[in-house]
Amino acid sequence: MTAQAKFLFDLDFSAPAADKRATAVSFAAHEAALGEAQAQGYRSGLAAAEAQERTRAERQTAAAYEQIGAALARFAEELPAITARIEAAAVEVAVAIAQKLAPALIAREPLAEIAALVTVSLRELTAAPHVVIRIDEGLYAGARERLTEIAQACGFSGRLVVLGEAEIAPGDCRIEWADGGLIRDRATTETAIAEAVGRYLAGRHGTSDAREEGESHG
């Protein structure tokens, strides 16, 4: 009986095993690698934090711009009404000041406005045969000579008559000639001014109220 051949491996089991030892890492290299990893982590965290902060700042800026835009839009809508109120208040203050100043100025210079009106009138009436000027009787003594001088300076060659009357208020006067006349009546003037101012203020307040009502309904 033939003997079976033994299976032989092409390996030499008597040879020494391959060197499987892991390469050793020095402590310094380990520390350097650890430090680099920590630095990289810090940089990544810082970059993320900065990006997050920029995003938050951008959102806050956008919100602030929206608020400013809305405030400007409201101001633009309210500006006409505010302007109307300011103008009305300014007119009221001006009228109040004028009402306070006028009597004081007339008391200080009672002939000033009369002289100005007579001067303008007589320059246009140089050919009139006669002119009558009626003033407050309390001013007659001092006014007659002054008005005569004005007539001469204006070239008026007709007859000038100055009369003092009790019913004429200080500062007022009446100038009469053959076919016409002028009246300076402060009370009548103040009434006309008050009515005109009242109409103006009513219109301005009405405009302001209408705008506010429209905004409230809107």
Domains of the chain: residue spans and CATH? 109-184 (3.30.360)
Q: What are 162's strand-pairing partners?
A: 133
pLDDT of residue 217: 52
pLDDT of residue 30: 65
Contact 122, 131 (CB under 8 A): yes
How many distinct helices (H) and strands (E) make up the chain?
Answer: 4, 4
Strand runs labelled E in 79-196: 130-136, 159-165, 173-177, 180-184
Q: Which helix H or strand E contains 49, and what residues bound it? A: helix 27-108
What string of pLDDT tens digits covers the 218 residues of the chain? 555 555 455 555 555 554 545 455 577 776 777 777 777 777 777 777 888 888 888 888 888 888 888 888 888 888 888 787 888 788 778 877 777 777 777 777 888 889 999 999 999 998 899 999 999 999 898 889 999 999 999 999 899 999 999 999 988 999 999 989 999 888 888 888 888 888 887 877 665 555 555 555 55
Residue 101: both structure tokens together: 């100043």
